[in-house]
Amino acid sequence: MGNDDALSWLDDVAQRRRDAGLRRELRPRTPAPATIDLASNDYLGLVRHPEVIDGAMAALRRWGAGATGSRLVTGTTTEHELLERELAEFVGAESGLVFSSGYAANLGVVTALSGKGSLIVSDAGSHASLVDACRLSRARVQVSPRGDVDAVRDALATRTEERALVLTDSVFSADGDLAPVRALHRVCREYGAVLLVDEAHAIGVRGDGGRGLVHEVGLAGEPDLVITATLSKSLASQGGVVLGDARIRAHLIDAARAFIFDTGLAPAAVGAARAALGVLRREPERATAVLDRARDLARIAAAVPPVGTAAVPPVGTAVGEPESAVVSVVLGDAQRAFDAAQACRERGLHVGCFRPPSVPEGTSRLRLTARATITPDELATIETVLTEILAGAPA
């Protein structure tokens, strides 16, 4: 029964992952990347913007390197509160509360607004942070098919719990398509539920000047709708935020464990996010440019001659007309997607590679993310490389 290596099981797990093409590794990037970036979430091209860097530096010099404690002890600065007010005003919400990450924001708000004796209806396409929040919530959780409003209605109509919370991404991160936010809100209003919309991939991309999908569909400021977002995508920084009714903010300060027991967001990240938001407000055309570049990427992917079999999605198949910064090119097999991503990198193009469990079995893909600042020369290189790699990828 004895075993002098209690971790030997990890070797077996690692081998199975290798065999399935699912082994992952860290790849440190250099300060001046040698590749064209279609993998990051720097949608507005602000991560190296001088004003964003200056905003981080100014906050760093004023407040120091760290937050020094939780938000309730020493970790709140006037910079944090300014960012919260500015973000809330930008999206049309009454108030905001900043967390140390988007992941923490979702954990905090879902667990604080649910609990024993409540129901959570979570879209099957929800981000992993929402999935984990459901697991921690102690609520009854019902998963609805992606974008299925009727399934959400059925779950709410037959519930026995007094309180209910419905969860969805506004832009699904793997495919880049949109959730039926307006229809979901109507159902939630009908059955007295709260709708939580994760706008991580919509802020800076969708809506008037990048104000998000909730704002775009006319639901900004609705008291029974909560927005979560990250500061690490369009706002080129780090951190997360919950935006909504002032009563929600007050409740989270009292009850959200991911807020109460976590060190506050570092001041430099707060300063960078404020500066990025300032650039976006002054240059709203950046949001339009992201979608323009996404259409360019989809055109390139769709132009590649299809290769493949009936059992595997054709090489170069983009998932629909882009509705966000994400253009998904389904390749099917995990190893096939990994090899295509590696071949792109070798030719100077860095693309995302999504494999299970990030996406369902048989739908591994290249995930291309548009950036507002992609140049015509870069587009020409992207077209050359993708045409070569996708047209030649083995089925």
What does the pLDDT read at residue 1?
A: 57
What does the pLDDT read at residue 222?
A: 98
For residue 96, give the amino acid letter. Answer: G
For residue 370, give the amino acid letter. Answer: A
Give the separation between CA 28 and CA 345, rounded to whole angstroms.
13
What does the pLDDT read at residue 310?
A: 35
What does the pLDDT read at residue 304?
A: 63
- Cα dist. 236→84, 88, 204, 374 in Å? 16, 18, 10, 16
Report CA Rg, the chain. Answer: 22
**Residue of 368, 388, 354, 373 lying closest to 318 (CA atoms):** 368
Q: What is 144-210 written as a DSSP string?
A: EPTT-HHHHHHHHHT---SEEEEEEESB-TTT-PBP-HHHHHHHHHHHT-EEEEE-TTTTTTSSGGG
Give the separation between CA 361 and CA 374, rounded to whole angstroms.
32
**C-alpha torsion 80→83→88→91, nearest 10:** -150
**Residue of 317, 298, 324 lying closest to 364 (CA atoms):** 317
Taking a C-beta distance cutoff of 8 angstroms, is the pair 227, 240 a contact?
A: no
What does the pLDDT read at residue 292?
A: 97
Q: Which residues contact 199 (CB under 8 A, 6 or more apart)?
A: 91, 170, 171, 212, 213, 214, 227, 228, 229
Question: Count of CB atoms within 10 A of residue 334's CB?
Answer: 23
What does the pLDDT read at residue 306?
A: 45
What does the pLDDT read at residue 303?
A: 75
Taking a C-beta distance cutoff of 8 angstroms, is the pair 151, 123 a contact?
A: no
Domains of the chain as residue ranges with CATH: 50-282 (3.40.640.10), 285-392 (3.90.1150.10)
Taking a C-beta distance cutoff of 8 angstroms, is the pair 202, 180 a contact?
A: no
Give the separation between CA 15 and CA 17, rounded to whole angstroms.
5
**Residue of 381, 380, 382, 360 lying closest to 369 (CA atoms):** 382
Tell whether the torsion through CA atoms of 223, 225, 231 and 234 is positive or negative.
negative
Give the separation between CA 178 and CA 193, rounded to whole angstroms.
21
pLDDT tens readout for residues 182-197: 999 999 999 999 999 9
Give the separation between CA 107 and CA 133, rounded to whole angstroms.
5
Q: How many residues would you count in the chain?
A: 395
Q: What are phi and psi of 334, to 5 degrees?
A: -65, -45
Question: Count of CB atoms within 10 A of residue 372's CB?
Answer: 25
Q: Is 241 helix (H, G, I), strand (E, B) or coil?
A: strand
Residues of the chain with pLDDT under 70: 1-2, 304-320, 393-395
What does the pLDDT read at residue 282?
A: 98
